[in-house]
Amino acid sequence: MTKQQRDTIDQMLRHGTLNLGGEVEEQRGIFADMMSSIPLPDDVLTEVRNLGEVPVVTITVDGSNSSGTILYFHGGAYALGTAALSAGLASQLARRTGARAVSVDFALAPERPYPAAVHDAVAAYRALLDDGVRASDIALAGESSGGGLALAATLAILSTGLPCPAAIYVASPWADLTTSGESTTTKAVVDPSVTPHGLRRRANDYAPGHDLADGRLSPVFADLTGFPPLLIQVGGNEVLLDDATRLAARAAGDGVAVTLDVTPDVPHVFVGFAGMLDEADHALSTAGQFIRTHLAAPES
């Protein structure tokens, strides 16, 4: 775990052209170029298909034989990104668990604002159940806004009476669309890629006319009673650090088995730098063990 690795990534992000609060169409192209710059390993297999009526990309690592499924939600502030672009990070989880990952191409804002993304997430989960996959064999996972969506989808799943997934893993979750956490100010200088202004613009695109403090939009304010075991990983240099810490406190207060893992001196979604950053590989191994343990647990 070297300072040189952290400094290299920090400088790469600071000198990048992605502007979270910029015009959507331009930023989608920049985001796509950035996410696709590292090719997938040769043993990672992807298949584009529909799950119910929701487009997804199924991601497997050659030789894996687990029956488990990771239902994965990509980041991009609810406006950028695709299921295919998230295959790199999703495949890291698949590799460490032996499970397949199913990355969801949920609706993006501003063209299709809230609650369309949540509806897509729940529809994909329901379709897995309809295909005969047991809820105890499904973990939800996501990074950044995808982490927030995994949490929002779980709230919706519980409200509809569907069986609960086995576990949830979120990396650097955007869980407070009101941007009220202290770290949006205290970490603004050290966060090389995410700005409070950018978050606020994308939040308004995602949920125009809605109360952003509604727990269905900002799970830090939700009642999380009934949630499955939850692992939260976050970097110490993130403006979203307080989203993670407050989410963990809320979950613990609501009786959820929650683990908060804060890694110092690393940026937003640092787990996306596996192979470049020792801390990313270590965190992903921890996440893989967490998911593997809960997918293997017997049904109660």
Active site residues per annotation? 144, 238, 268
| C-alpha torsion 45→49→51→52, nearest 10 | -170
At 231, give phi and psi (nearest 5°).
-115, 125
* Tokens describing residue 7: 């400094």
CA nearest neighbour of 193 among 251, 268, 122, 277: 268
Closest CA to 125 of 94, 96, 97, 150: 150
Residue 137 · residue 124 · CB < 8 Å: no
- Token representation of residue 206: 């995602």
CA 85, 285, 16, 205 torsion-angle sign:
positive
Give SS3 for 165: coil
**Strand order, beta sheet including 230-235:** 44-51, 54-61, 100-104, 69-73, 138-143, 167-171, 230-235, 258-263
Block residue for tokens 């295959």: 87
Q: Which of 115, 116, 154 is nearest to 135 (CA)?
A: 154
